[in-house]
Amino acid sequence: MNQQIEPFLLEVQRPSRYTGGEVGQVVKDRRDIAVRFAFCFPDIYDVGMSHLGMKILYSLINERPEYWCERVFAPWEDMEAVMRRERIPLYALESGDPVREFDIIGFTLQYEMSYTCILNMLDLAGVPLLQRERGDAIAPLVVAGGPCCCNPEPLCDFFDLFILGEGEEVDLELMDLYRRMRDAGAGREAFLREAARIPGIYVPSLYEVTYHADGTVEAVTPRDGAPAVIKKRVMTDMDRSYYPDSVVVPFIETVHDRVSVEVLRGCIRGCRFCQAGFLYRPFREKSVETICRQGRALCEHSGYDELSLSSLSTSDHSQIEEMLDALLQYTADAHVNLSLPSLRIDNFSGSVLEKVTTIRKSGLTFAPEAGTQRLRDVINKNVTEEEVMRTCRIAFEGGYTQVKLYFMMGLPTETDEDIIGIADLAQKVVNLFYDMPQRAKGKLQVSISTATFVPKPFTPFEFEPQTGKEEILRRQAVLRGAIRSKKIKASMHISDISQMEAVLARGDRRIGAVLYDVWKSGGHLDAWDECFEAQRWYAAFEAHGLDPAFYANRTRPYDEVMPWDHLDYLVSRDFLVREHKKALEARTTPPCRERCAGCGADQCLGRSCF
């Protein structure tokens, strides 16, 4: 434990967020360590400790005896006040040492609204926020990985480099290079030029961005031998990819309080709004043997009594039923609950339901995403109303009385008819329950939840504008007026956060100055509604002569140079344009397993995905 904080722990909520000392943490002798890596999650402990990527990379780095990876999380407001008052710098949980003393400070970029938290963590650590102010000393390097690296341009002022794609190999390659060049006496600039030669490493200071008079990007030009295009890294064999057999076990309940085994990466579906479905291509799955071995090891080493199968679409595994049979044989004997999230409506079967409910019965969640078939075809959801009703019938026959349905509002081409269709679909689910002669006993609850659509890079909707807040509020009123049953509970949310998320997702380097001003004026935990202040953001945009609507609410032509065009996530622009045109015509594209759509992601495999 950091001894500086011990006298003040009773002043804060959930003090065990800040103590370390959990079962499974890795502590090493500093004298034996060549490179220290601070893995920083830009949110509070409860959220970060649920993140699977951190668990994988934490264990991966620590398997190297000469490297030490430690965890760092953002303090909540009460703890930050103590740290600033007592001049306690941001520290790592394992050693209690200040983050500024580490060789590499690595952030994971999971959500755009965490960007101000990154700046706040650097400031708490005593590390200069701006990359150009850190001098030529090679340490500390400030790096980032994660899905938001697909467009890191708003953060380029603050980071030395970004890691594109999957980190199991490239992270160690970067650390090995750092060790060699540091020991040879190299400075920061020399190291960054060499790091840019590693596939998957993007060094923004080696690129110049120019703009047209209308504010759009004219060109991104590399210098000093940097590659014109940086291609993401991919683990091609999931059975041979590193996976931990133990994890750190928190003292407190976290957001996802269980162990998870990753069953596949990528997605075969091609939902046009879903950034993850395109960023994580190509589709790769683990064997049943590997999944079962890893799941057993995690449960036995951690003591958790719940095992979750993690993926974008678990039921798309080609051997889902064989996998469940094998896992249930272990979990039943070990008294472990098996959680199967990410179910698809169109391949949900009674046999899968029976297997899952052998362990635990609770509410089921599905995501039709849109209320009418026309709009589901626009977004390429490939789910019909008949499949929704069939799935609900199976669930009701299996004893379920709670169904949650997720939708998005503000999707491209959406009309009031599509909004009313959300209420109509929910009503049909209610009617189905009461029309069934043999149904589960209990009180029915159909919950519908709507989120505001945010257009994201590397999706067919990257060209689309986001619907404005006032129009979303009007559509929400239409939905409320269309709900006819007390059995339907609607949850709708809209705030300026959605627009700022869209701005940061599709922004350019000029946004960096806005982020700095937002942080300087008090923004630090903007992913949390209670900490977000819209006026702070709008004032910063105005001060720099930028309009949020230019980034969030503008249709982008196909030939516009996007801020992220020099980054290659293997999905081609031609494919995205084709899919966008099909969306406007409400034409669907079949799942990848049925027919290849030619997205380009299979190039890294040297073969077809299937």
Are 130 and 91 in contact by the 8 Å Cβ rule? The answer is no
What's the one-letter identity of residue 514? V
How far apart are the C-alpha atoms of 426 and 243, rounded to whole Å?
40
Burial per residue of 402-411, b for 16 or more beta-carbon CB atoms within 10 angstroms, e otherwise? bbbbebbbbb
How many residues make up the chain in this entry?
610
Give the per-residue pLDDT at 225: 94
Residues 263 and 199 in one domain: no
Q: Which helix (H) or strand (E) holds 69?
A: strand 67-73
Residues 76 and 200 in one domain: yes
Confirm whether 212 is domain-assigned.
Answer: yes
Residues 192 and 295 in one domain: no
Mean pLDDT of the region 602-607: 88
Position 183 pLDDT exceeds 90: yes
What's the one-letter identity of residue 468? G
Over residues 22-48, the pLDDT tens digits come to: 999 999 999 999 999 999 999 999 999
CATH number at residue 193: 3.40.50.280
Over residues 230-254, the pLDDT tens digits come to: 999 999 999 999 999 999 999 999 9
CA distances from 155 to 149, 229, 482, 509, 526 (A): 9, 18, 43, 7, 15
Over residues 89-125, the pLDDT tens digits come to: 999 999 999 999 999 999 999 999 999 999 999 999 9
Confirm whether 317 is domain-assigned.
Answer: yes
How far apart are the C-alpha atoms of 140 and 155, rounded to whole Å?
17
Position 359 pLDDT exceeds 50: no
Residues 268 and 227 in one domain: no
Confirm whether 339 is domain-assigned.
Answer: yes
How far apart are the C-alpha atoms of 432 and 389, rounded to whole Å?
8
- Residue 192 lies in domain: 6-231
Per DSSP, 263 falls in state -
pLDDT band at 315 (very low <50, low <70, confident <90, very high): confident
Burial per residue of 133-172, b for 16 or more beta-carbon CB atoms within 10 angstroms, e otherwise? ebeeebbbbbbbbbbbbbbbbbbbbbbbbbbbbbbbbbbb
Over residues 483-495, the pLDDT tens digits come to: 999 999 999 987 7
Confirm whether 67 is domain-assigned.
Answer: yes
Are 119 and 154 in contact by the 8 Å Cβ rule? The answer is no
Residues 177 and 276 in one domain: no
Residues 268 and 182 in one domain: no
Q: What is the token pair recorded at 154? A: 């708003």
* pLDDT above 70 coverage of the chain, percent: 96
Position 357 pLDDT exceeds 60: no
The beta strands (E) that lie in 322-454 are given as: 337-339, 364-369, 402-409, 445-452
Establish how many alpha carbons lie within 13 A of residue 465's alpha carbon, considering only the half-sphere containing its beta carbon.
12
Instruction: Give the largest Cα separation in the chain, rounded.
Output: 78
CA distances from 353 to 24, 350, 517 (A): 34, 5, 51
Mean pLDDT of the region 336-351: 70
Residues 270 and 196 in one domain: no
Position 583 pLDDT exceeds 70: yes
Give the per-residue pLDDT at 364: 74
How far apart are the C-alpha atoms of 108 and 74, rounded to whole Å?
12
Residues 202 and 321 in one domain: no
Position 291 pLDDT exceeds 90: yes
Q: In 10 A of CB 70, how many CB atoms?
A: 26
Chain centroid offset of residue 94 CA: 25
CATH number at residue 594: 3.30.750.210
Q: Single out the residue in 231, 247, 276 at which a domain terminates.
A: 231
Position 358 pLDDT exceeds 60: no
Give the per-residue pLDDT at 494: 77
Mean pLDDT of the region 158-178: 97
Residues 110 and 185 in one domain: yes
pLDDT band at 355 (very low <50, low <70, confident <90, very high): low
Q: What is the token pair recorded at 466? A: 């986001």
Write down the mean pLDDT value for the chain. Answer: 94
Residues 40 and 84 in one domain: yes
Confirm whether 474 is domain-assigned.
Answer: no
Number of domains making up the chain: 2
